[in-house]
Amino acid sequence: MDEAGLHTLSRVYRQTLYDICVVGLGYVGLPTACAFASRGFRTVGVDIKREIVDGINRGQSPLGEADIVKCVKEAVSQGYLSATIDLRRAVAESKAVIIAVQTPLENGKVRLKYLTRACRSVAAAIKSGALVIVVSTVPPGTTAKMIRPIFEQRGFNDGDSFFLAYCPERIAPGNSMSEFLNNDRIVGFDNGKSGDMALQLLKRVTNSNLYSTDTVTAETVKLVENTARDVYIAFANEVSKICTKIGVDTWDVIRLANTHPRVRILRPGPGVGGPCLSKDPYMLLQSYRDAKLSKKSIIRYARIINENMYQDVMKLIRFGLAQVSSNRKIAVLGTAYKPEVGDPRSSPSEKVISELIHDGFDVWAYDPYCKETFGAREARDLIEAVKGASCCVFMVAHRVFSEVSITQLGRFMEEQPVVVDAVGILPVGEELKGNIRIIRLGGISAHGIC
């Protein structure tokens, strides 16, 4: 950065109350704010929900992750973290602004209305010379074609009167603050001075590597990362379907295939949940100009496979229930979208529970991390969930579930119950455990069912 740029930056820094303003205090924004506050940055978070803001200012985290809970409490008491609903004031009093608002999928299309609204508000309030970093997931070209023009309309020029960068988040619920601090990051910018500013800031809060590129490439990388994982999972689920038709055990096939030094097949399961893998592939597909090519894409087929895996689970449940009594109680074990987290967004359990309730079953749900039940009755513990049930379904591979004794579980269930393992949490090869019939997704026991 030249001397004039440093002078401008120095002047901005002297006139501000905060080092960092984080717009949006959700699953990405709050860990981001905590990461900066933990490194001694004076950080203010902005959110439209008064209850979230008031809770943080009392030192209470709206997210249950242990590291986040601890950091919010400590950072607030030490004066490094605060929250407000007054976006314009917070932005005007900050050296750098990080925008971390949602970009949800609605009716199959990604909506950027929350992001554009946030950018307009930030552009109306920032001081000359401020750094703006966008971390929200967006379609390729959004930073250059939509975000930068919003600031230009306010008279700001990238690399001169303000500095703009795109740095997609790489965190996952459950360990988000540690991942923010320790994962490699991609930093996209279209002006060298803006890139210097962003890199200087992120180097002070990131323990790992920072890779520089342009904004369109950075936006595309983020989508490709998550889409690749979705496709990998879809392949595992397709393998599961094929193995079931053949009559061989999927889990054994994958285990043996993975002994090859260049093969690493993932685990099949009831579907893909969470806010990213279920959305980002569609965002990437929007980049196709030809709708026909988009419809033929392996990415779209992967989405179809993963979105409909719950139907395979339902077939196993219905087949199992046809072999037992007319007892209508079913226990669903796990409502989070993945193991060891309390996040229920787009969880495959939602579709399964909805179908079972629609079919008239008495559905009970238990998850040691997640309180969401999707309309099922909430069980206080595992025993209450399975007591008197004719069927229980493992929908999430929480470690605590892998420690459950199926034999002991059967003592609380109805006589000759069925256990459906949709996540491969039970030992391979067991079809019967005492009086319990075990049906595993992708297992030999599912042959002829799916």
Evaluate whether residue 233 is within a structural domain.
no
292-305: per-residue pLDDT in tens? 777 789 999 999 99
Q: Is the same domain home to 60 and 162?
A: yes
384-428: per-residue pLDDT in tens? 999 999 999 999 999 999 998 888 888 999 988 999 999 999 887
Percent of the chain with pLDDT over 90: 82
Q: Is the same domain home to 20 and 148?
A: yes
Spatial contact of 440 and 426, defined as CB atoms under 8 Å apart: yes
What pLDDT, on a 0 to 100 scale, did the predictor assign at position 6? 41
Given 213, 231, 260, the domain boundary residue is 213
What pLDDT, on a 0 to 100 scale, did the predictor assign at position 117? 97
Q: Is the same domain home to 186 and 319?
A: no
Q: Is the same domain home to 64 and 186?
A: yes
What pLDDT, on a 0 to 100 scale, did the predictor assign at position 105? 85
Residue 327 pLDDT exceeds 80: no
Spatial contact of 51 and 126, defined as CB atoms under 8 Å apart: no
Q: How many structural domains does the chain have?
A: 2
Evaluate whether residue 294 is within a structural domain.
no
| Domain CATH code at residue 311 | 3.40.50.720
Residue 11 pLDDT exceeds 80: no
Structural domain for 333, as ranges: 307-446
Q: Which of 71, 119, 167, 222 is catalytic?
A: 222
For residues 25-36, average pLDDT: 96
Q: Give the span between the Cα atoms of 447 and 241, in whole angstroms.
A: 9
Evaluate whether residue 378 is within a structural domain.
yes
Q: What are phi and psi of 130, to 5 degrees?
A: -75, 155
Q: Out of 3-12, 149-158, 395-404, which region has the weakest mean confidence (pLDDT)?
A: 3-12
Given 196, 213, 230, the domain boundary residue is 213
Residue 430 pLDDT exceeds 70: no
Contacts of 403 (CB under 8 A, 6+ apart): none
Evaluate whether residue 239 is within a structural domain.
no
3-state SS string over 300-327? HHHHHHHHCHHHHHHHHHHHHHCCCCCC
H-helix or E-strand spanning residue 199: helix 192-203
Evaluate whether residue 338 is within a structural domain.
yes
Residue 197 pLDDT exceeds 50: yes
Q: Is the same domain home to 334 and 209?
A: no
Q: Is the same domain home to 199 and 321?
A: no
Q: Is the same domain home to 178 and 326?
A: no
Q: Which of 315-329, 412-426, 432-446 has the highest mean pLDDT?
A: 412-426
Q: How would residue 109 be classed by pLDDT, with cut points 50, 70 and 90?
A: confident
For residues 89-117, average pLDDT: 93
Q: Which of 44-58, 168-182, 274-288, 405-419 has the highest mean pLDDT?
A: 44-58
Q: Is the same domain home to 26 and 151?
A: yes
For residues 153-171, average pLDDT: 96
Give me the helices (H) in 260-378, please: 280-285, 291-296, 298-307, 309-321, 348-358
Evaluate whether residue 295 is within a structural domain.
no
DSSP secondary structure letter of residue 146: I
Q: Is the same domain home to 317 and 207?
A: no
Residue 189 pLDDT exceeds 80: yes
Evaluate whether residue 276 is within a structural domain.
no
Q: Is the same domain home to 48 and 178?
A: yes
Q: Is the four-CA dihedral 309, 310, 315, 317 of positive or negative sign? A: positive
Percent of the chain with pLDDT over 70: 94
Q: State the Cα angle at 407 between 403 and 412, rounded to 5°.
A: 100
Q: What is the pTM of this model?
A: 0.89
What pLDDT, on a 0 to 100 scale, did the predictor assign at position 295? 77
Residue 349 pLDDT exceeds 50: yes
What pLDDT, on a 0 to 100 scale, did the predictor assign at position 325? 65
Task: Mark whether 351 is an active-site residue.
Answer: no
Given 172, 190, 213, the domain boundary residue is 213
Task: Mark whether 450 is an active-site residue.
Answer: no
Compute the mean pLDDT over every residue in the chain, rounded to the nearest whole number.
92
118-137: per-residue pLDDT in tens? 999 999 999 999 999 999 99
Q: Which of 71, 119, 276, 392 is catalytic?
A: 276
What pLDDT, on a 0 to 100 scale, did the predictor assign at position 429? 65
Evaluate whether residue 115 is within a structural domain.
yes
What pLDDT, on a 0 to 100 scale, did the predictor assign at position 415? 87
Q: How would residue 210 be classed by pLDDT, with cut points 50, 70 and 90?
A: very high
